[in-house]
Chain A
Amino acid sequence: MMSRLLKGTALAAVAALFLAGGAGAETIKIGMNAPQTGFAAADGKAAVIGAQLAVEQANAEGGVNGNQIELVVYDDQAAPKQAVPIATKLIEQDKVAVGISGSYSGATRAAAGVYQAAGVPFIAAYAVHPDVTRSGDFVFRTAVVGEVQGRAGAMLAGKMLGKKRAVVITLKNDFGVSLSAGFKEKAADYGITVVNEYEYSIKDRQFGPIVTKVKVDNPDVIYATGYFFTAGPLVSQLRAGGVDATVIGQEGYDSEKFITIAKDAAEGVIITTSLDRDSTVPETKTFIAEFEKKAGFAADMVAASGHTAAKVAIAALRKAGSTDPKAVRDAIAATNVTAAIGDISFNSLGEVRKNVQVQIVKGGAFHRHSVISDPDLLAPPEK
């Protein structure tokens, strides 16, 4: 009796679903891999909320040509071995029209190959490894590659701040190494001597020995790559250790958590990033306000990148007028939108063309320092 009742209810529910599906428009799915657990969960969370915000905003405007958009998110733990099955599942089972990555380079590179092979467009929100876009013509990226951002750091240190003696402290992963490589490549051009260089692993939080040695090196600028959870302790230990040289960071520092960790030591730290907190552009202002309302914490670079990647995907779906992968790919390649991170377009490799925002910590918050817009210096790789 009970089971018959249950069956009846289930049948009715299924029928209702079909009817609803038949009556309404189709749902277009955007797939997303992002770390929701493990060491990178904080960044993954911000990226996902950013992307969700973009989807909600688009749905409120009527979705894509009358169809609602759904964001399908799976946890890749920032691990390549998770990213591959997730990409396969998103493509084969969820039949997503576009994939976006809210994950780090390792996982993003792994997923990119799967999307390329399946011929489904894929947009990396903030993974910086050069090989991501080399996977093929269906792969795009809304972040500036590490080397290019490193060059912007060298210009900032040498030309804009007039520094001469630099110490480079490198986080030993693809992110930190590519940034430092870009900085060192251009340092001499801007009159900077790199007096010493140190490396650390992503698990390090104690930098006592490096601080001790940097004090002896006596630099006037420190180019230190890392994420807020390494840079926060590093900067506070540098200041506590009596080192007062200007610290230049990058988008990995770009989280209010960096300031929470380093407290007063964060004051005066300058970073190259993609989110301008003092922007007067409506798109960016709206994003910053709505993100904080939705997430309960302030927007950062990762959140803005997640939002931008989703926005690019949605804009392309609208322009393509269908979910045909080739048409969507071509629409992404021709992107020309104002996103939370500024005006963006893509080059032939699928690398983003955009300005680099320079932010400085003042009064316990990131504020605009300057904008680097030199197109030659910032030219992304073409192959």
Chain B
Amino acid sequence: MLYVELFLQGLIQGSIYALVAVGLTLVYGLLRILHIAHAGLFTLGGYIGVLVTDATGSLALALLVAAVTVGLLGMALYRVCYEPILNKPPFVALIASIGLFIAMEEIYRIVFGPYGLSYQAPPLQDSVVLWGMHLTQAELAVMGGGVVVIAVLALLAEKTRAGTAWKATVTDPQMAQSFGIDTVRVRYLNFFIGSALAACAGVMVALMNNLVEPTMGSVPSYKALAIIVLGGLGDVRGTLIAALALGVIEAFGTIYLGDLMDRDAIAFAFLIVVLMIRPQGLLGRKA
């Protein structure tokens, strides 16, 4: 039973990682930019979630407001920060992104204060006891929500015109454009969806910790990088699997390897081992 419960805890953590990392891998797939500031949008989602829930009492509304606001902000970031430097070498965008992330953390601190925010009456806190295992409703929602959202996303990518346009733009932007795909619109949509998902993850993490801090995004910022590398850069399905796998490995590692290395070290040790055996990522095909 202990193992089952640890496994579930791993899936909960993994679902959060997945929601954050999918946006990152979408951006990388499309633009070859490592979008560090993505984690800043995740934090903003948490803040909006707390503020809207406290003001209205509705978590659903909070999720919606966070997703839309942060989604639009993600689009604006692309327009203002990335578009002008797309033809520069990739490190230029990387540096811009890191700078942006640091600025965002400090802006949150100035606007929302250094202590962080907590829900006045956090919703979904009741424990559900299943076969002797205690899980909060929030944890179940994260697990369920994460799987549903990503499944829907995968479905959209496969079955809709927008999805086809996205995949075409990832594979060969110039060719896609010559076939009449509006690649600029694809990019905006990409930033909107990725940022909105990060915002949802932020709201849920805020709910599980009952705390949003300016620096909440610092761990996801680099761990999501490890995950998208594991998943095979730009690969949504691979990212999902890598995120869940990492969550589970961390859960067991925290308990059984905790004396040797901490959670973050476990994540990167896993990354190194995978890259030694499968340099193309967990699911990637050999080039």
Q: Which residues of A line the B interface, CB within 8 A?
A: 37-39, 41-42, 44-45, 172, 198-201, 203-206, 208-210, 212-213, 215-216, 229, 232-233, 236-237, 240-242, 257, 260-263, 297
A contact residues around B251 at 8 Å (CB): 208-209
Q: List 12 A-B contacts (CB under 8 A).
A: A39-B213, A45-B114, A199-B259, A206-B13, A206-B209, A208-B13, A209-B252, A232-B210, A232-B211, A233-B208, A260-B118, A261-B210
Q: Which of B2-10, B30-38, B175-183 participates in binding chain A?
A: B2-10
Q: In the complex the two chains form, is B109's CB within 8 Å of A41's CB? A: yes
- Closest A residue to B105 by beta carbon equals A38
Q: In the complex the two chains form, is B134's CB within 8 Å of A172's CB? A: no
Nearest-Cβ distance from residue B52 to partner chain A, whole angstroms: 18
B contact residues around A257 at 8 Å (CB): 115-116, 118
Given contacts A41-B109, A201-B262, 4 further A-B contacts (CB under 8 A): A38-B215, A42-B115, A205-B209, A209-B10
Q: In the complex the two chains form, is B114's CB within 8 Å of A42's CB? A: yes
Bound CA–CA A221/B198 (angstroms): 38
Q: In the complex the two chains form, is A203's CB within 8 Å of B218's CB? A: yes
A contact residues around B134 at 8 Å (CB): 215, 240-242
- Closest B residue to A216 by beta carbon equals B2
Say yes or no: is B280 at the interface (Cβ < 8 Å to chain A): no
Say yes or no: is B136 at the interface (Cβ < 8 Å to chain A): yes
Say yes or no: is B254 at the interface (Cβ < 8 Å to chain A): yes
Which 7 residue pairs are nearest across A and B when measured between Cβ atoms? A208-B9, A41-B114, A242-B134, A42-B114, A209-B251, A233-B209, A205-B209
A200 contacts which of B114, B215, B263 (Cβ < 8 Å)?
Answer: B263
Say yes or no: is B235 at the interface (Cβ < 8 Å to chain A): no
B contact residues around A233 at 8 Å (CB): 208-211
Q: In the complex the two chains form, is A229's CB within 8 Å of B262's CB? A: no
Nearest-Cβ distance from residue B162 to partner chain A, whole angstroms: 34
Q: Which residues of B line the A interface, CB within 8 A?
A: 2, 5-6, 9-10, 12-13, 16, 106, 109, 113-116, 118, 122, 125, 127, 129, 134, 136, 139, 205, 208-211, 213-216, 218-219, 250-252, 254-255, 258-259, 262-264
Bound CA–CA A209/B266 (angstroms): 14
- Closest B residue to A41 by beta carbon equals B114
B contact residues around A198 at 8 Å (CB): 254-255, 258
Bound CA–CA A67/B118 (angstroms): 44
Q: In the complex the two chains form, is B211's CB within 8 Å of A210's CB? A: no
- Closest B residue to A232 by beta carbon equals B211
A37 contacts which of B106, B129, B263 (Cβ < 8 Å)?
Answer: B106
Q: In the complex the two chains form, is B106's CB within 8 Å of A203's CB? A: no
Known A201-B264, A263-B122; contact A242-B127, beta-carbon cutoff 8 A: yes
Q: In the complex the two chains form, is B210's CB within 8 Å of A212's CB? A: no
Q: In the complex the two chains form, is A39's CB within 8 Å of B215's CB? A: yes
Q: In the complex the two chains form, is A240's CB within 8 Å of B125's CB? A: yes
Bound CA–CA A44/B109 (angstroms): 13
Bound CA–CA A75/B62 (angstroms): 35
B contact residues around A41 at 8 Å (CB): 109, 114, 214
- Closest B residue to A255 by beta carbon equals B115
Bound CA–CA A213/B263 (angstroms): 16
Known A208-B139, A257-B116, A261-B210; contact A200-B262, beta-carbon cutoff 8 A: yes
Q: In the complex the two chains form, is B211's CB within 8 Å of A212's CB? A: no
- Closest B residue to A239 by beta carbon equals B127
Nearest-Cβ distance from residue A81 to partner chain B, whole angstroms: 16
A contact residues around B205 at 8 Å (CB): 205-206
Which of A208, A233, A242: most chain B Cβ within 10 A? A208
Bound CA–CA A310/B247 (angstroms): 46
A contact residues around B214 at 8 Å (CB): 41
Known A201-B262, A212-B5; contact A240-B210, beta-carbon cutoff 8 A: no
Nearest-Cβ distance from residue A77 to partner chain B, whole angstroms: 11
Bound CA–CA A172/B5 (angstroms): 25
A contact residues around B115 at 8 Å (CB): 42, 257, 297
Q: In the complex the two chains form, is B210's CB within 8 Å of A37's CB? A: no
Bound CA–CA A204/B250 (angstroms): 12
B contact residues around A199 at 8 Å (CB): 258-259, 262
A contact residues around B106 at 8 Å (CB): 37
A203 contacts which of B5, B219, B250 (Cβ < 8 Å)?
Answer: B219
